[in-house]
Structure 1
């Protein structure tokens, strides 16, 4: 199975959505919403903002590997 590198992040504060390309060599712990400027952090037990707010989990999780937080 190939890894999907694009994920649409939805801000839980204002609902703004944007498709972003996920990094393959690091976890993205912070993300600033372009709609309301709120800085998003992962929810509890999630490794990155893509796993918490994206339509597709980060590449390590897609590959059934642990992410950076472990």
Structure 2
């Protein structure tokens, strides 16, 4: 079994205004809401995604990175 490096930082992009922000992802819970620091829109996961990082960021959340289900 090999150790897999989990990436904890991800760049999230607001679909409304295009603002990007590097954020630290939680390792013990899903993040269902995220407020854009630029336009103040509240992002929610797209249908079928478990969290805002899986929907709008460059790196999926830690549970998905390891092949597990998120918040399951």
TM-score range, shorter chain: over 0.9
How far does the alpha carbon of each residue in 1:22-50 deviate from its partner, in whole angstroms, 9 at most, with x for none? 00000000000001000000000000000
Unaligned runs of 5+ in 1: none
How far apart in 2 are the matches of 1:20 and 1:14? 17
How large is the RMSD of aligned CA atoms in angstroms? 0.7
- Work out which of the two has the higher radius of gyration on C-alpha atoms and give 1 or 2: 2
TM-score by length of 1: 0.96
| TM-score, length-scaled by structure 2 | 0.94
Q: Map 1:9-24 to 2 at 5 A.
A: 9-24=12-27
Aligned to 1:55: 58
Q: Which runs of 5+ in 2 are unaligned?
A: none
1:26 equivalent in alignment to 2:29: yes
In structure 1, distance between residues paired with 2:57 and 2:9? 9
